[in-house]
């Protein structure tokens, strides 16, 4: 299945709301010229300039940009879903695993000292977090959340 089709299918699965389903069905079924929306003058000018630069119709560009935004929104929501399942303490542990004080990752012992809990409790929290994120190690967790900002 092409990635565009897979992404669009994921959008429909992820957002079970009726209005969005209609938009996505329209994006799949119709040509970009059938997509109707009314940008304000400033946005319309920017779309026109960008479309001229790319040598394609503004309507097609607008449809592609909307689809791109939906796809990236779904990706962001998929990353956030496991985070929302974490307990407040698990979130604290993740923040310290990924970026402790001074921006450096902390060891289990350092996390335990920081949070006034035992290193064994830290291990339990990390194991639960890894399970919720479907990861196998703290390194994978750091990589998965590398672009997140954990600063207070």
In the chain the domains, ranked by start, together with CATH numbers, are: 3-83 (no CATH), 87-144 (1.10.10.10)
List Cα–Cα distances, 12 to 74, 80, 138, in angstroms. Answer: 10, 18, 32
DSSP structure class, residue 98: H
Q: Express each pLDDT in 103-142 by its tens digit.
A: 788 899 999 999 999 999 999 999 999 999 999 999 999 9
- The yes-or-no verdict on residue 48 having pLDDT over 80 is yes
Q: Share the mean pLDDT of the chain.
A: 79
How high is the pLDDT of residue 128?
Answer: 97
9's tokens: 């299918």
Place of tokens 């079970």: 16
Q: Express each pLDDT in 79-101 by its tens digit.
A: 788 999 999 999 999 999 988 77
Q: Rounded to whole angstroms, how far apart are CA atoms 48 and 140?
A: 43
| 126 neighbors 139 (Cβ within 8 angstroms) | no
List Cα–Cα distances, 85 to 34, 67, 78, 128, in angstroms. Answer: 40, 28, 12, 10
């Amino acid at each position: 299945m092409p990635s565009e089709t897979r992404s669009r299918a994921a959008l429909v699965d992820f957002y079970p709301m009726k209005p969005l389903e209609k938009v996505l069905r329209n994006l799949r079924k119709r040509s970009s010229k059938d997509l109707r929306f009314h940008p304000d003058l400033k946005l319309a000018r920017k779309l026109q300039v960008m479309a001229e630069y790319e040598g394609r119709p503004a309507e097609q560009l607008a449809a592609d940009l909307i689809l791109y935004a939906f796809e990236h929104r779904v990706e962001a929501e998929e990353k956030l879903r496991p985070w929302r399942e974490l307990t407040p303490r698990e979130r604290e542990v993740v923040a310290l695993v990924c970026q402790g004080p001074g921006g450096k990752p902390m060891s289990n012992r350092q996390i335990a000292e920081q949070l006034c809990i035992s290193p064994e409790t830290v291990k339990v929290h990390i194991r639960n977090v890894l399970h919720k994120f479907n990861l196998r190690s703290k390194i994978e967790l750091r990589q998965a959340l590398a672009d997140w900002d954990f600063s207070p």
